[in-house]
Amino acid sequence: MKRLTLSLYCIIAAILPVLLGSCIGVDAEISLSGNGSGSMVVRYRISRELESLGELDGNARWLPIPVGKADVERTVRRIPGLALDSYNAKTDGDDTVHTVKLKFASLEALAQFLDGTGRYASITGKDGGSVLTIDFPGNPELNPDLTDLVRESCEGYDFRIAAGNGRRNYEISMADLLTSKDPVRIEIEL
């Protein structure tokens, strides 16, 4: 047991500086048809350092998004009603920009893709339409030094989401999102 604890500590000590020294930018556009099916284009920018961590066997669980085409394909296979339309990755300086185009047969499939646990993303009916809600828990215990490190690491990375005609419905810097002491709730009418 002591050896397992020491091993876990060593793994965390090796991964934590990379996670804290790297950030992810996300830009998503959702289009719906009348029956609840639709498509989503997700562009995410991830530092190559963080991406290489996710490509190592056993480390993918540490990252909040699929890294690489194989990860996206695995995610799509486990969600009924979700299909990968296309995938592209391009290197841009110190980052890799992934563009993933998905088709979903239902809003349930979309919600499952956004959050397989159902704790942070949900889609509910409202006034004859649907509302996508994404909750970020906030970090009330984040110390000032760590806040400064996250702000520096995430400079230039944003979280954006749009629905309907492609207009920007919500945008926040990743630094503000990750260092918010209070929970952040995003609600988008679909």
- Least confident range from 16-25, 83-92, 128-137: namely 16-25
Q: What's the rounded Cα separation, in Å, for the pair 70 and 32?
A: 26
Share of the chain above pLDDT 70, in %: 76
Q: Is pLDDT at 99 greater than 90 in this prediction?
A: yes
Please give the sequence-ordered ranges of beta strands (E in DSSP) within 55-117, or none if there are none.
82-92, 95-104
What is the per-residue pLDDT for 49? 63
Q: What is the pTM of this model?
A: 0.75
Per-residue tokens: 122: 């949900």
71 — pLDDT class (breaks 50, 70, 90): confident
Cα 43 off chain centre by: 10
Per-residue tokens: 69: 């085409």
Q: Is pLDDT at 22 greater than 50 in this prediction?
A: yes
Enumerate residues 6+ apart whose C-beta is below 8 A from 186. Answer: 132, 133, 134, 135, 136, 161, 170
Q: What's the rounded Cα separation, in Å, for the pair 85 and 89?
A: 14
Q: What's the rounded Cα separation, in Å, for the pair 84 and 102?
A: 5
CA-CA distances (angstroms) from residue 108 to 37, 38, 39, 55, 134?
9, 11, 13, 28, 14
